[in-house]
Amino acid sequence: MPFPLTLTGRRAGAAVLSAAALLATSAACGDDGRDSAASETGLTVLAASSLTDVFATAGAAYEKEHPGTKVTFSFAGSQELAAQVGQGAPADALVTADTRTMDGLTADTGKPVVVAKNRLVIATGEGNPEKVQSLTDLADPALKVVLAAPEVPVGRYGKEILDARRIDVKPVSQEPNVRAVLSKVALGEADAGLVYRTDAATATDKVDAIDIPDAQNAIASYPAATLKSSGNIEAAAAFVSWLSMPEAQKILQAAGFQKP
């Protein structure tokens, strides 16, 4: 009469180890056998160039608060971001440096909410070698002034405040975003330019910031909204909502942005 097959000694030990390994693998992959990394939520946020530095900090803080969420930012001038949205660029949320651009995208976005405000300054080379003191100085034909293009929010704000005081400035170039203006001044390719206060604050070792009086200045508003084409609309809405919460506001205001 044949005896039933049994596992003994090393064979039994190997079987136990093999079963344990299978259980560990199953636990790591989750109940459905998929790798836990596959459950990570990825968010792509299109954001105005002037948010480049502060959103690096904000994004890290958000990911720490929301384990399993990875936020990737794509920075450009607001008008470029609007064009990307219109062309169907894959993204989940949008933050512009003006309400006008956002208002032109109502068919593509959820309801926007203003999360920060900003104001303009005159950026000059370190030490202000040309002794620029006010907006009227920018009309000096001997001064190399660089501005953002008028279709860029900071360029439009700049044009508005110059036109209001009838100051005729002939820029040596018109740039596609505020960071390009800042770069021209920081590199000595221009004597002065109009940028946001927060951008000048990122390059204090290379530029000086000349304040513009409130009565002569413009206030920039930064609205944020989800994109209707997002594949992660709930996660996108959570991020947009977080931007108005105390921790995000603390980060924005520490970088020089004003309260919404």
pLDDT over threshold 60, residue 257: yes
SS3 34: coil
**Hey, which CATH number is domain 119-219, 3.40.190.10, 3.40.50.2300, 3.30.565.10, 3.40.50.620?**
3.40.190.10
Tens of pLDDT, residue by residue over 149-189, are 999 999 999 999 999 999 999 999 999 999 999 999 999 99
The rounded distance, in Å, linking the Cα atoms of 118 and 208 is 17
Quote the pTM value. 0.83
pLDDT at 129: 97
Q: Name the token pair of 107.
A: 């068919």
The type of residue at 202 is T
Neighbour-count burial for 132-167, b at 16+ CB within 10 Å, e otherwise: beebebbeeeebbbbbbbeebbbbbbbbebbeeeee
Supply the pLDDT for residue 3: 40
Rounded to an integer, what distance in angstroms lies between the CA atom of residue 226 and that of residue 192? 36
For range 77-93, the mean pLDDT: 96
Per-residue confidence at 62, pLDDT binned at 50, 70, 90?
Answer: very high
Q: What is the pLDDT of residue 40?
A: 86
169: three-class secondary structure by DSSP:
coil
Q: Indicate where the chain has its CATH 3.40.190.10 domain(s).
A: 40-117+221-254, 119-219
pLDDT at 181: 98
**CA–CA separation, 48 and 244 (whole Å):** 17
d(CA 186, CA 96): 24
| Partner residues linked to 190 by β-bridges | none
Lowest-confidence range among 1-10, 92-101, 144-153?
1-10
The per-residue DSSP string of 83-148 comes to HHHHTT---SEEE-S-HHHHHTTTTTB---EEEEEEEEEEEEETT-TT---SGGGGG-TTS-EEEE
Domain with residues 40-117+221-254, CATH architecture = 3-Layer(aba) Sandwich (3.40)
160 half-sphere exposure, CB direction, 13 A CA radius: 15
In this prediction, residue 131 has a pLDDT band, given cuts at 50, 70 and 90, of: very high
* Amino acid identity, position 83: A
In angstroms, rounded to a whole number, what is the distance separating the alpha carbons of residues 141 and 196? 23
- Band (pLDDT 50/70/90 cuts) for residue 38 is low
> Confidence band (pLDDT; 50, 70, 90) for 23?
very low
